Amino acid sequence: EHTKGVNGLPKVILREVRGCSAEVYLYGAQVTSWKNEHGEELLFLSSKAIFKPPKAIRGGIPICFPQFGIQGSLEQHGFARNRHWMVDPDPPPFLTCSPNKAFIDLILKHSEEDAKIWPHRYEFRLRVTLGPGGDLMMTSRIRNTNTDGKPFMFTFSYHTYFAVTDISEVRVEGLETLDYLDYLKNKERFTEQGDAITFEAEVDKAYLSTPTKIAIIDHERKRTYELRKDGLPDAVVWNPWDKKAKAIPDFGDNEYKHMLCVEAACVEKPITLKPGEEWRGRQELSAVPSSYCSGQ
């Protein structure tokens, strides 16, 4: 369903047969809501989110492209999340099309404006699917359409803000013993401890060469989020905690307690595409009752 969201920004609502839903703003191609069949919101959206271009919406799933973080002249996390995407008029053939899947295809292409700061031509196609059982799938296809023979490099992240009951009662499984870059210590490289990760202070780490599946366990709510990814070797874990959250104007003061970013990403080794080449990066999110899933 195509409708208008906050400040009249166009958004698409995906609904699934059992009542699950998702909302995607064309601004930034940003998922801002993902609800289960009970109508419970599974993504964090800041109460102070500013739905006003060129500011990125705080929460949901911002897309970081053509860079993650700050590099050179591009703004933090690149420009894709600050642009108006279009509904894709000729989406790639959908491999498996079944009746109980709702999906939307969006596209972003290079602009003369952007070419001033990132001198490349590209087509970025995003498909957001609300699958059977309410899983949320996102597939990005990025193609180098340079006509000057030039390859380009980029880094990327699905900057997912998971809603949690209390960050102090959250555990992340799947990242133990891995190496990570600590963005709070000048991206110095460390090795993670041997058991599940818990949270009691600001954390901003990019785990490297991570498994395809990561579990985020909301102990209070007895809910586990499963993040499955393909083409995205790294995973960024971020919680600003109290001090940093207060310093971010569009972050409510105590809201850090109710969110955790776990981001399927490619940050350590940029992706290089030659003209005509296409990269695919996919994440699939599901929310299952913890009793069923913990310890697997």
Q: Interface with ligand TA6 by CB under 6 A: which residues?
A: 56, 69, 76-77, 159, 183, 204, 236, 238, 261, 263
Other C-beta atoms closer than 10 Å to the C-beta of 247 total 9
Pick between residue 109 and residue 187 the one whose CB is nearest to ligand TA6. 187
Please classify residue 178 by burial: count the beta carbons closer than 10 Å to its beta carbon, then call 0-12 exposed, 13-18 middle and 19+ buried: middle
283: its two tokens: 């994440």
Pick between residue 85 and residue 156 the one whose CB is nearest to ligand TA6. 156
Q: Find out whether the peptide bond into 93 is cis, omega within 30 degrees of 0.
A: no
**Distance of CA 216 to CAs 123, 209, 261, 294, Å?**
32, 18, 10, 10
Pick between residue 51 and residue 183 the one whose CB is nearest to ligand TA6. 183
Pick between residue 46 and residue 129 the one whose CB is nearest to ligand TA6. 46
**Minimum distance, C-beta of residue 253 to ligand TA6, in the bound complex (Å):** 16
* Residue whose CB is nearest to ligand TA6 in the complex, by number: 238
**Minimum distance, C-beta of residue 270 to ligand TA6, in the bound complex (Å):** 16
Pick between residue 85 and residue 238 the one whose CB is nearest to ligand TA6. 238
Q: Which secondary structure element, helix H or strand E, spans residue 247, and what is its range? A: helix 241-247
**Minimum distance, C-beta of residue 251 to ligand TA6, in the bound complex (Å):** 8
**Minimum distance, C-beta of residue 49 to ligand TA6, in the bound complex (Å):** 11
Bridge partners, 108 (sequence order)? 124
**Minimum distance, C-beta of residue 193 to ligand TA6, in the bound complex (Å):** 21
d(Cα 84, Cα 121) in Å, to the nearest integer? 17
Q: Which residues are catalytic?
A: 159, 263
Say which residue the tokens 């992340």 belong to: 172
List strand residue ranges (DSSP E) for the chain, in order. Answer: 2-4, 10-15, 21-25, 30-35, 63-64, 86-87, 102-109, 122-130, 136-144, 152-158, 161-163, 170-173, 179-182, 188-191, 203-207, 213-218, 223-230, 234-239, 259-273, 278-289
Is the Cβ–Cβ distance between 103 and 94 less than 8 Å? yes
